Every structure is written in C-alpha cells, then in structure tokens.
Structure 1
Amino acid sequence: MNNNKQKLLLQYLISSGDLYALCTSIIRPEYFAPEYRNAVKFIQDYHEEYNALPTPEQIKAETETSLVKQEIKKDQFEYCATEVEAFCKFQAFRAAIFAAPPLMDEGNYGKAEQLVRDAVTVSLQREIGTVYFDNPQERIKQRLKDKRLIPTGWKELDRVLDGGIGRKELLLFSANSGVGKSITMANLGLNVLLQGYNVLYITLELSEEVVGQRYDLMVSGISKFEHMARLSELVQKIEQTGQHCGELVIKYMPSGSKTTAIKAYLKELQLTREYIPDVIIVDYIDNLDPSEQVPPELIFLHDKLTSEQLRNIGVEYNSAVVTASQQNREAVDAPIIHQGHIAGGISKINSSDNHFTIIQTGPMKAKGSIAFMPLKTRNSLGLSEVLYHNWDRVSLRITDEDKGPDPEKLTFVPRTKPNEPKSKSGLVDTEGGDGLLNLVDDLN
C-alpha cells in the first residue's frame, strides 16, 4: 500500500470514533510507513489515555505529521474498514514470514507456526455478539440443536453428563497406574462406534497392534488365548460388527509428539478417508507436548498449553476429545480422590469440560467391578458420586451394573456438598470411615 493511501486511511480513522474503535485492535504502528509510525502510536496512546481521538492540530504538534479530518459517509466507513483489515493482515503475515526462519533454525517450529496462524486470523470483529433478549425462542432452539451430545453408552455417566459428551469439549479421565485408563477409553470408543459415530484412537504409548487386539477382545468376546484356534469365528464377528457401526482408525504417534502432529494427521485423514472423526481419543495427554517449546520445570504451563490446544482441536474440527492422565503418588493411599491428585499440572483439569477419576482396586478387579467418580462437570450435576460398572476380565468390556451396591455394605459415602450433615442412617462417615478405596472393596 502506497504512502498516500496510508495517509488517507489514517485521516478516515481520526474522523470517526466508531471507525477507529472497530479497527484499533488490529492496527500496529510498525505496519505503517516510517513517517506515519509516530502518529499512529500517538493516536493509540491518546485514545487509551483520554478515551477520545486527538485533533489534527495535536497530532501535528506531537509528531509533525499533517492529517486532515474527513467527512465519513457509510460507503467510506465500509471502504476504510475493509482496506485497513486487508492492510493489517498483509503486514502481519509479512512480519511473520520474516520472523519465522530464525525460529525454525532454533527448532522452535511451534512458535513459527503460531506467528503465521496469528497473522492469518487478523480480522475485524464485525459481529456484535448475542443480544440476549432478541428472539429467545430461536436462540434456545439453535442452542439445543447445536449441543448434539454423544452418549457414552454408560447410563450412569450419561445421566451425570446430562446426556453424553459434547462436541468441542474435552473429557478427561484420571487414575493410578495400571487401573484402566486405556481400557476405559477403548470401551468408550467402542460404545460410540456402535452408535454409528466415527472414532480416531491416537495412542502415544501402546502400539497399534496392542490397541487393535484389545478391540478384537471387546468386539468378539473371545479370549486372546483362543484367537488362533477360533480365528474364523473371530474374523466373522469383527466383520459383522463393522457392517453396523462407525469407522475406527487407530494411529500410533511417538511419545512426546506435539499437538500440531494431531492437527496435521486430521487433515491427512480428511483427505484420505473424506471425513472428520466425531470422537478423538488421545491415549494419553501426559505423553503429548504443546506446539511451543516449554522448559521442563514449567509443568503447569506445559500442561495448560497442551490441554488447551488439544481442546481447541475439538473446537476446530467439531469433535469430542477424550483423554486421560496419571494420578500422583498421594492418590494411591488417599481416602478420597480429588482434583489435586492429578499428576503434573492441575491446569489439565482447568482446561477440561468434564473430569472423572477411575477406581478399581485389586479386589474389585478380581470380582469384575470398576467405578467412575466425577470430579468436575461443567454443565451438569453429580460431583463425587461413585458410579459402579461391571468389568469382564476376558473381553475387557465395561458395562452398566444391573444391580446397585447393597446399602447394608456401605461404610463410607463421599459427600456431594461441602457442608452436608452426617446421615441419620450412618451411611456417611466422614469422621472415622476407612476411605473410598475401602468402601469399594467392601462393596465387592
């Protein structure tokens, strides 16, 4: 853009407070020719300080730049806004291109990509937002239509989640080592597959063959020790199931992969398979890195960026995202599991929409039982309620529990409210109870 046009746009901007307010968020002094940069900075500083635009005389006195106010008509308003937007987008992209090579030489590809991404997204915010009292019926109908929850296939979880997991949301499971994070996510994946949804299972730990074998068990119900002897039956059951469900893609990525690798793969999947998965399972988030380089000691920031970027992938692709995280050592013997027991940064929970801890003690596993306890639900109730399910050690399937726990066996029930009084029946024992893990052992 030549200097004369830059000067004209500046004159339009100082002539209309509304026009300036629309454009100011994307304007940077360095975008303009050197002779106008001081004027742009003065205009911005003046507006920030006095909430008004300086006069041409003030601009001349402070920066020696001569500008003349213009009469702004509707067409000139639109012209200026459009031209300023295009100019700032071009300049931002140009600056990103020049800044990227040194970052790439340092191996900071995530920062280089972010600069380009920010430049591409430079635009004016022309939408005013939601005017709450205007046409509430249409607004509510659209909200209900857009929610489109995906049932988990487990009645109790769906009840707590008010119907299921939402697209553009992040569901986080946590558990101690060996308790069943991967098994839980694989079961959830199969549950939604059987409803016709497409699932992408990204494994950052186990091989594709191991994950595939687990699905062989869950789909067929045939023990892995009998797969060779019953190969024809196994194949037949898998093929029959595949005819009546969504598509499952299992993709291995090395531990330490960045969130950008998932985005790149989704684009490849969209090109080759011509769809975007309804549910993206990432096994698991502790093995994933953000696009930016983060010093290892900044665990909170690392996990914050990773979880936010993973959730943003779901937002961008209109998919539900499911992942899991380890719990720390304090959770092993803790009487009650809470959010502070998450390994690494609690920022993972802050960024998630729903968070469940998985409970399966040795006696529970031996007797075929597993439980989930919601620790965070953004849009529903039911916190700290223990949800019991059946677990089959052969097929690895987690299913609804037909019969609830026997009240006579209850020795401890976690509170759902901070100041809930002790139950008259003695079922709530916060003073002398042996804790949640003893409770679930007693129930079995």
Structure 2
Amino acid sequence: MSKEYTADLQKLFLEMMMNDAQNYVRVQNIYNVENFDRSLRDTAEFIKTHSDDHKTLPTYEQVQAVTGVELKPVPDITEQHNDWFLDEFEGFTKRQELERAILKAADLLEKGTYDPVEKLIKDAVQISLTKDMGTDYFEDPRARLMALKDNNGQITTGWPAMDRKLFGGMNKGELNIFAGGSGSGKSLFMQNLAVNWVTSGLNGVYLTLELSEGLSAMRIDSMLTNVSTKEIFKDLDTVEMKVRMTGKKAGNLQIKYMPAQSNVNDVRAYLKELQIKNGWNLDFLLIDYLDLLMPVSARVSPSDLFVKDKYVSEELRNLAKELNCVFVTASQLNRGAVDEIEFDHSHIAGGLSKINTADNVFGIFTSRAMRERGRYQLQLMKTRSSSGVGQKIDLEFDVESLRIRDLGDDEEYKQFKKQSSSIYDQLKNKDSGIVEAPDEEAGKITASVQSSKLKDMLAGLKSE
C-alpha cells in the first residue's frame, strides 16, 4: 500500500521545520516548494524566501499574517522525532519529484523527444538528504590509504615507462583520453592497450565508431601473433593457431562496431546485453573515439564541438564510474597542432571542455622520421592522480606488427633522442632569436635567426 502524504502531514513537516531551524537546514538541499499541496505552497514559498533573504526563519505570527496559514509549535520534540521527520520528508520529496518527472516524461514521449527522459527519472530517483559526512582525516590513515588503493582498482598499462608517470597505472572510474592528429595512431594505442590488458587476463570491450570490426580485429591479430598485416593471409594457419593458443590463457575481448553519432545510452544498453549473454564482468572499456559520439542529456548540433564534447565527456566519465572499469577513449588535435612539437590544451579539438572533464590526457607526437625509426612519444597534457604533467614517454613501435612496446635500452634511440633534444633546445630559444655556437673556446658567437629558418629546421626534424 502506497503512503499518502496528506495536506495535514505536509503541514506538520513545515511546523517541525519552524520548531527547529536545524531541521530546515538539513533538508534545504531537497526542499522544493512545488512539492507541497496547493493550500500550503504559499507558506512553503514564504519560509524559503524569508530564510534566503534574511538568513533566519520567520516567526509563526509572520507566517500567518503573510500567508493566512496558522502553523503551531510542536511540543516535546526529541532527537528520535527529528530522525522520523528527516526520513519521512525525504520519502515525500522523492515521491513528489518522481511523480512530476513521470508526467513530464509522458509529455516528452508524446512529442517524440526521448533523450531527456532517462535523466529526468534518474534525477528524481537519486534525490536524497546528505548523509555521507566524508572522511575523518586523522581517524585511521592506514585504512584510508588501503581503501584508496583497493577502490581505485589500478591497472598497469603494460608500458612500465607510462606506469611510472601515472604512479602505477590507470585507475578504474577515470576518463583517459589519447589526443592526436589524423593518422597519428589513436586507434593503434587503444588496440595495443586492449592487447596488453586481455593478455594479462582482463575482460574488456573495444567499441569502434570508425574502423570496421573486421579491420580492428585483424590489427589485433597482427599485434598478438607478431605477423605483419600484409602477411596474415599468406600464413593463415600460423595466425589462427597463435590466436587460439593465446585465447586459452587470456581474458575476454569483444570488438563491436557502432555507427557514428551513437550515444552513451547505446553503449550502456550494449554492455548490459553483453553481460547478460556472456556473464563476465567488465574490467576495461575502449571507445574509438569520443568525437564521434553525441550527448544524451542535451540536443546539440554536431558542429557545436565545445558544448557537444562537454556533455559527451561528462556522460562518459559518469559511465566509467557507474561501470567501475578502466575507460579509455581518443580525441582529435586541431590544425594548430600540426606544426607543433609540444602540445597544450589549446590544441585539443573542441576546446577545454574535454580537458576539464578528463582525468588523464595524453598527446600523441610522431613524425615520419620517428615512425621510420619505430618510435612514438606520448606527452602528458593532464593527470589528476600523479605529478606527470608536461613529461614525455618514449615508446617503441613495430611497423610490421603494429605493436607498441616500452622502449627499454635502445642505443640507436638514445643517440636519436640526444640529437632531437639538441634541435628542440635550439627551437625553444627562437623567442630570443639567438643560437649558441658549440665551440666555446672560440668564444660565444651569436646570430640572428629568422622565423623562416626555424620553420625549415622543424620541417627537417619531422621529415628527416
């Protein structure tokens, strides 16, 4: 039998708030004048307005004079009575908000507007009083730190150099974004992460909104078997055997294509269906890529990148929290990043909206010369859980198998890095227009360097 919140009961709620100002303060975050019976709505509005404007509740006489409703003091109130009031008022508010949300949802459905319906209902259901008082910092430091370690569910990326910058790896419930220009390797990085994680026994999903399922799977075939994509069909038996052998000791990996302009609800529905059919828990989710998704909570033009990406980023981060999994996606760098050797927030397509929401953002830097040498560089543009912002991670890239690995000790690359660092230092001095000559014994020779020469030097570095 459903509970009936009569006008008399609602009047008692107002009287208990008037009786103890603390009761009003404790329910202020869910107090909504629209929830009250029409006969009490003016009274509820006056109490709220007076409290907001004068920082104190009105007197009983004021309420009666202004609204015509007589509220009476409630005698002999104990703490148990106040607890009853808090529980009942929370239930009353939830019921009223949900009822109103359902009526609004019905109107939206009749108009054919479906996307905001879920948010309306979800917001109404989640209404509650503030009961979580947070963390007592000094109470139990060890338990607090161990809970942080356990709850984060940190997972290694499979690249030790990257793990060191992230203080151990990527955390569950966080939004990680790989940012790169067109053809920079955003999909390659996510596919390599899928290989790293599934071969370590984790279960995950790779959602592609760009490449087909078949092409994505064939790339992963090459990474798993160390057979070039050009040679896969020539050595199909070996590839099949290696994939099947790896699968026996690996986790589960599902590759799914979704059309561009899908949204988070499409992703959520697919994952739920997958979980029901396969029965395994999700450890990681990779979506290739963020820019091709559309928001659920607002109707936005695809051309309005800032607003669109803001909503999509927030919805993806909420999804990561909801699923409690490691979540990785990608985004484009804008045209301004084409000739840059160091990225900043202004180079992200769509602006700061994604950066502000993301927990970690990695810029993918490469050039033709680096790819020929089999090298990639990640630049940490943002990290929330470590102090790695501004640092760089050099990784090895196998052009044949498309595998990205930790660089390790590579003498050839050490020499290459030394040379490129020297050129980079010269480029950093372009604002001063001076380049130091290497021969100190001959004295310091300075020369004016024109911007066109610097551009030539940069072009030489990229095309060397």
Give TM-score scaled by structure 2 length: 0.87
What RMSD over aligned residues (CA atoms) do the two structures have, in Å? Answer: 2.6
d(CA) in 2 for partners of 1:425 and 1:10?
A: 81
Out of 401-410 and 177-186, give the one that drifted further.
401-410
Amino acid at match of 2:205: L
- The alignment of Structure 1 onto Structure 2 pairs a total of residues equal to 435
Query: Is 1:233 the equivalent of 2:244?
Result: no
Question: Of residues 211, 217, 221 in structure 1, which corresponds to 2:222?
Answer: 217
Q: Partners of 1:435 and 1:169 in 2: how far apart?
A: 41
By how many angstroms is 1:144 displaced?
Answer: 2.6
- Counterpart-to-counterpart distance in 2, 1:439 and 1:25: 61
The one-letter code matched in structure 2 to 1:316 is E
Larger % of helix: which?
2
Of 59, 63, 87, the match for 1:59? 63
Q: Is the 8 A contact 1:172 1:352 kept in 2?
A: yes
- The aligned counterpart of 2:48 is 44
1:441 Cα deviation (Å)? 4.5
Q: Name 1:89's counterpart in structure 2.
A: 94
Aligned residue among 337, 341, 347 for 1:331 = 337
Are 1:189 and 2:198 matched, yes or no? no
Q: Is the 8 A contact 1:336 1:435 kept in 2?
A: no
Residues 423, 349 of structure 1: alpha-carbon distance in 2 compared, 3 angstrom cutoff: farther
Distance 1:379 1:151 in 2: 14
- Report which of the two structures shows the higher radius of gyration computed on alpha carbons: 2
Alignment of 1:340-351 (within 5 A): 340-351=346-357
Structure 1 equivalent of residue 378 of structure 2: 372
Q: Which residues of 2 match residues 424-439 of structure 1 at below 5 A?
A: none
- Aligned letter for 1:88? T
Conserved in 1, the CA contact under 8 Å of 2:222 and 2:232?
no
One-letter amino acid of the structure 1 residue matched with residue 422 of structure 2? T
Q: Distance in 2 between matches of 1:343 and 1:435?
A: 26
Q: Which stretch of the first structure deviates more once superposed, 327-336 or 90-99?
A: 327-336
Task: State the identity as a percent.
Answer: 35
Question: CA 1:252/1:237 → structure 2, altered by over 3 Å: closer, same or farther?
Answer: same
The residue matched to 1:190 in structure 2 has which SS?
helix
8 Å CA contact 1:412, 1:434 repeated in 2: no
Contact conserved, 1:373 with 1:385, CA < 8 A, in 2? yes
Match of 1:353 in 2: 359
1:363 Cα deviation from its structure 2 partner: 2.1
Structure 1 residue 7 and structure 2 residue 16: aligned? no
Matched, 1:362 2:368: yes
Separation of aligned partners in 2, 1:386 and 1:425: 27
Moved more, 282-291 or 357-366: 357-366
For residue 124 of structure 2, the aligned residue among 119, 122, 125 is 119
Residue 391 (str. 1) matches residue 397 (str. 2) = yes
| CA apart distance, 1:434 | 5.9
Paired position in structure 1 for 2:444: none
1:437 CA drift (Å): 6.1
1:311–1:154 Cα change, 3 Å? same
Deviations 1:335-356 (A, max 9, x none): 4322211112321111111111
C-alpha deviation, 1:150, in angstroms: 0.8
Change in Cα spacing, 1:440 to 1:384, as seen in structure 2 (3 Å) is farther
**Cα drift, residue 254 of structure 1:** 0.8
1:305 maps onto 2:311 in alignment: yes
CA distance in 1, matches of 2:348, 2:457: 17
TM-score by length of 1: 0.91
Match of 2:422 among 386, 407, 411: 411
Given the superposition, is the C-alpha separation of residues 320 and 94 from structure 1 closer, same or farther in structure 2, using an over 3 Å criterion? Answer: same
- Which residue, 117, 120, 135 being the options, matches 1:130? 135
Query: Gaps spanning 5+ residues in structure 2: where?
Result: 439-447
Q: Deviations over 1:178-211 (max 9, x none)?
A: 1110011100111111222211111111111111
- In the alignment, the residues of structure 1 paired with residue 303 and residue 51 of structure 2 have an alpha-carbon distance, to the nearest angstrom, of 41
Contact 1:411 1:439 in 2 (8 A): no
